[in-house]
Amino acid sequence: KAGVTQTPRYLIKTRGQQVTLSCSPISGHRSVSWYQQTPGQGLQFLFEYFSETQRNKGNFPGRFSGRQFSNSRSEMNVSTLELGDSALYLCASSSRLANQETQYFGPGTRLLVL
């Protein structure tokens, strides 16, 4: 089975712009979770989607949003980018809800905001 894929792998944007990141989960997985990872904060949970519904949400501002399609692929959008949004954004999938079984992570999208 192919693993979790994320596109793009690297991205450079400027403050005020918006960005959309994409995640394709492992075939058959219905849960997709998004995380932000920075050197100082470690992994921080953004949100989880299961069967096209947001099931869980972390403590991030409304500029961070996501959605999941019927084929379980997910997108994450960040509007009005700030310098502090520079981070590695990781997507993880599992066949059940994230807190019920092992998650499989993608390679991440590294975002740099200038």
Partner 1 sequence: KNQVEQSPQSLIILEGKNCTLQCNYTVSPFSNLRWYKQDTGRGPVSLTIMTFSENTKSNGRYTATLDADTKQSSLHITASQLSDSASYICVVSARNTGFQKLVFGTGTRLLVSP
Binding stretches for partner 1 (CB under 8 A)? 4, 33, 41-45, 48, 55-58, 88, 90, 92, 97-108, 110
Minimum distance of partner 1 from residue 39's CB (angstroms):
10
Minimum distance of partner 1 from residue 16's CB (angstroms):
27
| Count of beta carbons in the 10 Å neighbourhood of residue 79 | 14
Q: Which lies closer to partner 1 via its Cβ, residue 67 or residue 88?
A: 88
Minimum distance of partner 1 from residue 19's CB (angstroms):
19
- Who contacts 22 (Cβ-Cβ below 8 Å, separation ≥6)? 6, 7, 73, 74, 75
Could you tell me the two tokens for 92?
Answer: 């993880």
Minimum distance of partner 1 from residue 9's CB (angstroms):
10
Contact 75, 16 (CB under 8 A): no
Q: Which lies closer to partner 1 via its Cβ, residue 7 or residue 100?
A: 100
Q: Which of 13, 18, 31, 37 is nearest to 74 (CA)?
A: 31
Q: Which lies closer to partner 1 via its Cβ, residue 11 or residue 107?
A: 107
Distance CA 73, CA 24 (A): 5
Q: Which lies closer to partner 1 via its Cβ, residue 15 or residue 96?
A: 96
